[in-house]
Structure 1
Amino acid sequence: MSLALDKTSLRQELRRLRRRLASDIAGAGALAAERLPLDQLPAFDSFSGYVAQGSEIDPRPLMLRLADLGAVPALPTAVSRDEPLEFRLWDTRTPLEPDAFGIPAPPPWTDAVEPDLVICPLLAFDRRGGRLGQGAGHYDRTLSNLRATKPVFVLGLAYAGQELDEIPMEPHDQPLDAILTETEFIAVAKEAR
């Protein structure tokens, strides 16, 4: 069986698991935000979160905490199904509009942001920084482009129950620098990747 087929069946199973975790753990996003040790993050002036879809852990409490530190907040926007994501300024007073995938995002007229820290949703993670996403490759392409221009810290946000022993990684997969769950912060050692 090919790695792509393995990942496809794994994603189906993990979506079911994440739905169960979401229904069992109330307020996981707020719990995770409280557990973030700010001294373990590199310096950052801007960051990107995301708008939780379905059973994804809600990043809003974490985003508000980071914005309170004075960092410029952004949200990802898919302008097409094939291009990397763009990041646009997130202002809670500005209504969001559906992007190319129908996900709420800042409108096209908002300022572009190049985040220093990116909070990523995921289906699963491992302690070596492996991340399994939805499968379209948007975050991998986007992070690769960002990391080609400057250092970017990538923080996976997940339920603790989404941890696997090992994520099947391919050369184009972008690793996480750390993972934050409702129970702990996991720093990924550079040599573990």
Structure 2
Amino acid sequence: MSLTVVTIVMILSAYLAGSISSAVLVCKLRGLPDPRTQGSGNPGATNVLRIGGASSAALVLFFDMLKGAAPAYLAFRLGVDPIALGVIAIAACLGHIFPIFFNFKGGKGVATAFGAMAPIGHDLALCLMGSWVLLVLITRYSSFAAICTALLAPVYTWWLDDRFTIPVAMLSTLIVIRHKDNIQRLLKGEESKVSRKKRTKAP
């Protein structure tokens, strides 16, 4: 099988993997309300934290990151070039944002994007997670932390392994574009802060 065919197969596989909504499935398995109809309406870890608590949010975060990490790592092992790796990672994020299995209504793609960056190296993964956690603790705004971490990601990558600066920049651009509404709310002072609510049962 040629490398071009492998790349196309990986792009399609990454999109399909990204289309599996961890937030919806975790909430359903745990008897929680559908995250698309509760809180911010975003099927992601932050909204699940609001409606279901830390353990449910941690599961969503893990599986959302895995959706990005697994295709990116597999493609890397198969010898796909850095630019194609970026396209594969974006395909996984687009699957999360526009999931074919959930009426094309998905989340922001932050955890999936960061997961796709993680196989570049443990140092980068630690920088990304550390930056996001620190910014959330300081500001209490998950969206602000995600945007700032996305902007820092290409800088970290250039410093740690400059071969992947362009694909990481591609992912970062997608994250920032996806947060355009959050940016407007932040500027107006209308963005919701991170809060944890007690676990609730679905009616």
TM-score normalised per structure 2: 0.25
Structure with more of its chain in helix, by fraction: 2
Higher strand share: 1
